[in-house]
Structure 1
Amino acid sequence: MTEMLENERNTAAAWFKTLRDDIVSAFEALEDRQTAGPIAHLPAGRFEVTNTKRDAEDGSDAGGGLMSVMRSGRVFEKVGVNISTVYGALAPPAQKAMAARGVPGMDRDPRFWASGISLVAHMQNPHAPAVHMNTRMFWTPHAWWFGGGSDLNPCIEYAADTQHFHDTQKAHLAPHGDDLYPKLKEWADEYFYIPHRNRARGVGGIFMDDRNTGDWAADFALTQDIGRAFLPAFVPLIDLRRDTAWTDADKDTQLIHRGLYAEYNLVYDRGTKFGLATGHDANAVLMSLPPLAKWI
C-alpha cells in the first residue's frame, strides 16, 4: 500500500505549498496595515525567499524546498515560513530513531520521503504573541503518517487571546470528531513542555504525530484543517495587539521569554533534530530561533 502513494504524496506537497503562499500573503498584508506606532516608519516587511537543498551522503538529488524569511518589519521582528520535500535513504542514526518510534522495516529498507510546512513568528511588539505552526507527511515503504499542529507563545499573556486561539482550533477540528480537540490539546501541553524549567513554553495549542488511521484521505483532511485553522486563530490577535504601546520592561520580558523558546527548540524539538540529522539546510532548520534573546 505504501508503495502506491505517489499521487497522494504529490497532493500533500502541493497543499503545503498552497498553505505557505496563503500565509505569506496574509503576513505581508499585516505589514501593510501597520501604519501607527514607534516603528511604523520602517518599510513594510517582505519575505526573502531562498531555495534550500538537502545534501545526500552520496551526492544524489535528495530534495529541498523554500525558505521564506522576513526580518525587521513593522509587525514581525523575524518570521520564517518554510516548506520542503526531501527524500532518499535515512542514515543509520535516523534509522535507529525511527525504529525506536515503532516504524517497521527500517533495517531492511531505509528509504523515506517527507514534506511539510514549518512556521515560526517572533513579533516586534511584546504584547503580540509569538507563534509556531507546522504540518507534515512522512512516508517510508513500510508506513506513512501525518503530524503537526500550532501553539501560541505570548510573553505577556492575555486570557482572551488564549481563548480565541484555542476556540478557533477546536472549531476546525470539530468535523473530525468531538474527542479530537481535547486529545490534541493534551498532546500539545505534553509536547511543548520544558522539563528543565518545569513549565510550558507558551499557552498551548494542538499537536499530533504518527497519525495513520488507515484512511489516507481522512488523515490528510484533518491535516489540512489544522493548517486552515492557523490564520483565523492568529491574525486577529495580531490586529488586536500590534498598536499596543510597550515599555522597555515589556521588551525585556519578551527577550527573556524568547530564551525559553530557544532552549526548547535546541534541546527537545523533534523536527529540529530530524532536520539536522538528515542533512537538510541548517539555516532552514534553525530558522525558528529568535533574532534576539536574553537569559537572566
Structure 2
Amino acid sequence: MITPLLSSTTATAFPVTTYSAPNLSSSLSTNFTSSLTLGLGPGLGRTTTPLRTIASTLTRTRNTNFVQVRASSSSSPSLPVIEKETPETQRPHTFLRESDNERSPNTNSTAVRARFEKMIREAQDHVCSAIEAVDGNGMFKEDVWSRPGGGGGMSRVLQDGAVFEKAGVNVSVVYGVMPPEAYRAAKPLSSEDKPGPVPFFAAGISSVLHPKNPFAPTLHFNYRYFETDAPTDAPGAPRQWWFGGGTDLTPAYIFEEDVKHFHSVQKSACDKFDPSFYPRFKKWCDDYFYIKHRGERRGLGGIFFDDLNDYDQEMLLSFATECANSVVPAYIPIIEKRKDTPFLDQHKAWQQLRRGRYVEFNLVYDRGTTFGLKTGGRIESILVSLPLTARWEYDHKPEEGSEEWKLLDACINPKEWI
C-alpha cells in the first residue's frame, strides 16, 4: 500500500492507441507487415494469421468506392500514401454508406454494422461526459472527418485539463477491399472457394486516458468489429466476421484495492457471457502488452481479445457492448479517489518514466500505431495515444522494496488480482 504524503506538488491520437485506418490513394503499393488493422489500438484483423508476406498494389475502383488491393511482386516494397480525409463541420447521423442503409433491415450484416456503430458512438458520448465531469475544467475538442471511399471518424481530445494531462476517445468506420492473398491468410479456403478481391468493413472505438496525478492510473480501451463480404468471383462464399478489443490499466503506483476493483469489473462483464472469458482474456492481455526489449508488461493488464467469432454473433455484439459500458464504472471511481492525492517531484518523475514505457510499446509494438506510421495515416490520430510528457533516464533501477520496485515487479511478473 502507498501512504499518501502530506506535502504536494502539482505537476495526447485517434482511433486511439493509435491509428485511424484510412482510404488508400491510387496506383500505390504496400507490404502488409501486420494483420489488417483499423488503427484503434491492437490490430483489427485476425491476429492468429498475420498478413506478413503479402505485397500488394493498391488502386481505387471507380465504381464501388472501395479501396481495391491487387497482388504484385514482393520486390515492390514501397508504401502507400494515405489519401487525405475530408474535414466535416457537423457530426453525421451515421458514417455508414447509403448502400448499407438501403439494404433490407432484415439483413443481419447491416443490422450488426449499424448497431455496432450506434454502440461505439454512444460509448464515446458516455466516456467523454464522464471524463469532463470528473475533470471539472477541461473540454474535449472534436474533429469529424469522412473519406471519399466511405466511412469516416470522430476524434475527441481533452488536453491539459485539471485532472487529465491528455484524454482521447475516437470512433472510426472504414470500408476497403482485401486482396485475394489477404483473404486466404485470414481464412482457410475450401476446395470450392474461388478467391478474388474481398470487400471489408471495420468499425471501432479506442481511447487512452492519461491523468496528471502520478497516483491516478492511465486507462486504455478499444472495441472493434470487422467483416468481409464474399469474394467478388465466389458468390456463394460465406461472409467472415470477428470482434476484438479490451480494456487495460497502467498505473505508476499500485493501490491493490484499485487494481482489484478494476479487474473485478472486467471479470463481471466477462462472466455474464462465459466464465472462461476473464481468465482467457486476462492472460491474452498480459501477453499482448509485453515490451520485449524491456522484459516487462506495459501495465497491470485487464482483458484483451481478437479474432473472436467462435460464439454466436449476437452474443459477441452484446459482450462487446457490455465491455464498453463497463469502462466508466471500472475507471472513474479510481480517478475520483486518486486525482487529488498529494505527491512529490519524485513521484511525478517515476510516472514519467513509466509513461516512457508506454511510448516505447506504442511506437515499437502496437500494430495499429506502427501500421499507421508506415502507411502515412492521419498523424494526429496515430499519436493521440501518447502522453504530453514522458521521461527516460540512463540505467534507472528503483530501490528493491520501494513502491516503484513493487510496480516494476508486477509488470515483470503478472499477478492474479482477484
Tell me if both proteins adopt one fold, taking TM over 0.5 as the criterion: yes
Residue 144, structure 1, aligned to residue 241, structure 2: yes
User: Could you say which residue in structure 1 is the equivalent of 2:153?
Assistant: 65
Distance of 1:272 and 1:5 partners within structure 2 = 28
Residue 8, structure 1, aligned to residue 93, structure 2: no
Distance of 2:132 and 2:382 partners within structure 1 = 22
**Would the aligned equivalents of 2:169 and 2:207 in 1 still touch at CA under 8 Å?**
yes
User: Could you say which residue in structure 1 is the equivalent of 2:216?
Assistant: 128
Q: 1:92-121: CA deviations, max 9, x gaps?
A: 6xx866754547689622422111100001
Match of 1:254 among 351, 354, 357: 351
RMSD: 2.1
Residue 267, structure 1, aligned to residue 355, structure 2: no
Residue 235, structure 1, aligned to residue 328, structure 2: no
User: Could you say which residue in structure 2 is the equivalent of 1:287?
Assistant: 384
Distance of 2:206 and 2:213 partners within structure 1 = 22
Query: Structure 1 stretch 234-243 or stretch 4-13: which is displaced more?
Result: 4-13
Match of 1:207 among 304, 325, 337: 304
Letter in 2 for 1:266: L
Match of 1:51 among 144, 147, 150: 144
User: Could you say which residue in structure 2 is the equivalent of 1:117?
Assistant: 205
Distance of 2:194 and 2:358 partners within structure 1 = 32
Q: 1:181-238: CA deviations, max 9, x gaps?
A: 1111111011111111100100000000011125210110111111111111101100
Distance of 2:263 and 2:134 partners within structure 1 = 21
The change in CA–CA distance for 1:290 and 1:102 in structure 2 (over 3 A counts) is farther
Letter in 2 for 1:247: L
SS at match of 1:125: coil
**Would the aligned equivalents of 2:208 and 2:219 in 1 still touch at CA under 8 Å?**
yes
Q: 1:69-114: CA deviations, max 9, x gaps?
A: 0000011000000001111224x6xx86675454768962242211
Q: 1:227-272: CA deviations, max 9, x gaps?
A: 1111111011001101101111111111111111111111111232
SS at match of 1:113: strand
Q: Cα distance, 1:6 vs. partner?
A: 1.5
Distance of 1:107 and 1:285 partners within structure 2 = 32
Distance of 1:205 and 1:100 partners within structure 2 = 29
Normalised by the size of structure 2, how large is the TM-score? 0.62
Match of 1:23 among 124, 127, 143: 127
User: Could you say which residue in structure 1 is the equivalent of 2:175?
Assistant: 87
Distance of 2:374 and 2:110 partners within structure 1 = 25
Q: Cα distance, 1:170 vs. partner?
A: 0.6
The change in CA–CA distance for 1:244 and 1:166 in structure 2 (over 3 A counts) is same
**Percent of counterpart pairs with the same letter?**
41
Q: Which has the higher contact order (CA 8 A, sep 6+)?
A: 2
**Would the aligned equivalents of 2:183 and 2:195 in 1 still touch at CA under 8 Å?**
no
The change in CA–CA distance for 1:286 and 1:100 in structure 2 (over 3 A counts) is farther
The change in CA–CA distance for 1:99 and 1:205 in structure 2 (over 3 A counts) is farther
Q: Cα distance, 1:150 vs. partner?
A: 0.6
SS at match of 2:293: helix
Distance of 2:370 and 2:312 partners within structure 1 = 28
Q: Which runs of 5+ in 2 are unaligned?
A: 1-106, 230-238, 394-418
Distance of 1:201 and 1:144 partners within structure 2 = 29
Q: How many residues align?
A: 275
**Would the aligned equivalents of 1:125 and 1:242 in 2 still touch at CA under 8 Å?**
yes
Distance of 1:100 and 1:205 partners within structure 2 = 29
Q: Which runs of 5+ in 1 are unaligned?
A: 33-43, 55-59
Normalised by the size of structure 1, how large is the TM-score? 0.87
Distance of 1:110 and 1:19 partners within structure 2 = 30
**Would the aligned equivalents of 1:155 and 1:253 in 2 still touch at CA under 8 Å?**
yes
User: Could you say which residue in structure 1 is the equivalent of 2:292?
Assistant: 195
Structure with the greater alpha carbon radius of gyration: 2
**Would the aligned equivalents of 1:213 and 1:219 in 2 still touch at CA under 8 Å?**
no
The change in CA–CA distance for 1:226 and 1:279 in structure 2 (over 3 A counts) is farther
Q: 1:136-157: CA deviations, max 9, x gaps?
A: 1011114111100110000112
The change in CA–CA distance for 1:107 and 1:201 in structure 2 (over 3 A counts) is farther
Residue 163, structure 1, aligned to residue 267, structure 2: no
Q: Cα distance, 1:127 vs. partner?
A: 0.6
